[in-house]
Structure 1
Amino acid sequence: MGKMTNTEVAGRRSNKRGMATRESMLDAALRSLASGDPGAVSGNRIAKDIGATWGTVKYQFGDIDGLWSAVLRYTAERRGDLPASASVNASLRDRVSAIVDNLYEGLSGADSRAIETLRAAMPRDRAEFERAYPLTAAEFESWRQAWLDTCRRAFAGLEIDPQRVAEVAAFIPGAMRGMVSERQLGTYTDLDLARRGFTNAIVEYLEP
């Protein structure tokens, strides 16, 4: 391989700086959203929190829809796949318990709080959402499919009805957000007991 020219070296350095700038912007946007302040979804507010002009943010992401879709993709990459259990030979109960416990912890994190703030600001009507924020809506849809695929892999080899797996995949995230909300707000409910009961109910439903 030949020696790089000065122009090529400068180009690589510039690209590295650009990627670092993009990542720092995404980190700053997530910190702002994680505050829970509804005003954090404003493009100008995000630019201010990032320490840049809105023009600089647009240069990196195109528009606010491009920024939000990039934020979602970034959090998904950082999160990675959800481990279903410690072993492929794990029992149904162990697999369900692993999913419930991982979600319980993961949904309490700063990234999850940021996504909740973003979701709360998006249009409730799906058609309106997809029209106004097509890239962000597509990213959320990819999350739904990725989560369903994760659940299918989690229960692979147990001869469980696929339709029941899809139903469980659909209701687990919302139920776990409820428990996390109870923990954050303070509650008289025994949340350890609640998670055990939730796990038992899912196991009973999925039992081949």
Structure 2
Amino acid sequence: MTEAAERRTNRRGQASRESMLDAALQALASGAPGSVSGNRIAKDAGATWGTVKYQFGDIDGLWAAVLRRTAERRGTLPAHAAPHGTLAQRVAAILDILYAGLSSTDSRAIENLRAALPRDRAELERHYPQTASELASWQKTWITDCQSAFADLDVDPARVREVALFIPGAMRGITSERQLGSYIDLDEARHGLSKAIVAYLQG
């Protein structure tokens, strides 16, 4: 095969891979029955399950690639937060980022994927080792990003870690209230959460 022909083949293969990842994200975000089916995703991408396996190995490889794709698009927290602001401004910026991001297509896709995966960590690691590894890396990256966001302030890194661990769950709850059409004042809820976090970090 000539070098030019090899480049064209590689480009086609990459385009096929991208198409499958896009199809997987759209299917997962829909939350429709069968959205976690490899055959359904292959069909949506105009491919066969054999083609998906060629690109990703198996369904575990596909889910791990989907998680990597969303992580790449999300980027790192310090790039989006208020790196030179006060403690209160930085906490508020992080909550704003999550509030906006948790209603995105990528976030809905990941939530639906996680809902379909085994809850037990050992079972997840046994059946979906690559996916489990990606999810574990997310927690490490998130904690590191949060600690970096406050690194130049006089706050306890251990408390930052604790805050980093509970913020995503707290913000999912507030986001869920928004999606359900809650009567709660969600701006006030976020403001109260932000003040509580700042008070805790200040010790």
Which residue is equivalent to 2:111? 116
Which residue is equivalent to 2:168? 173
Amino acid in the other structure paired with 2:81: S
Which residue is equivalent to 1:69? 64
Maintained 8 Å contact 2:146/2:164: yes
- TM-align CA RMSD: 1.2
Q: Deviations over 1:67-100 (max 9, x none)?
A: 00000001111111124533x3310000000000
1:150 aligns with 2:145: yes
Runs (4+) of structure 1 exceeding 6 A deviation are none
Maintained 8 Å contact 1:38/1:117: no
Q: 1:78 aligns with which of 73, 81, 87?
A: 73
Maintained 8 Å contact 1:30/1:71: yes
1:102 aligns with 2:97: yes
- Matches of 2:80 and 2:66 in 1, distance apart? 25
Query: Identity percentage over the alignment?
Result: 68
- Matches of 1:180 and 1:156 in 2, distance apart? 28
- Matches of 1:39 and 1:182 in 2, distance apart? 26
- Matches of 1:48 and 1:9 in 2, distance apart? 30
5+ residue gaps, structure 1: 1-5
Which residue is equivalent to 1:200? 195
Total equivalences in the alignment: 202
- After TM superposition, give the deviation of residue 36 of structure 1 in Å: 1.1
Maintained 8 Å contact 2:81/2:97: no
Q: 1:31 aligns with which of 22, 26, 35?
A: 26
- Matches of 1:81 and 1:137 in 2, distance apart? 20
- Matches of 1:63 and 1:183 in 2, distance apart? 36
SS at match of 1:123: coil
Maintained 8 Å contact 1:36/1:114: yes
- Matches of 2:19 and 2:144 in 1, distance apart? 30
Q: TM-score with structure 2 length normalisation? A: 0.96
- Note the 1:39-58 alignment, pairs <5 A: 39-58=34-53
- Matches of 1:116 and 1:37 in 2, distance apart? 13
From the CA coordinates, give the structure whose radius of gyration is larger: 1
5+ residue gaps, structure 2: none
- Matches of 2:145 and 2:102 in 1, distance apart? 16
- Matches of 1:54 and 1:111 in 2, distance apart? 23
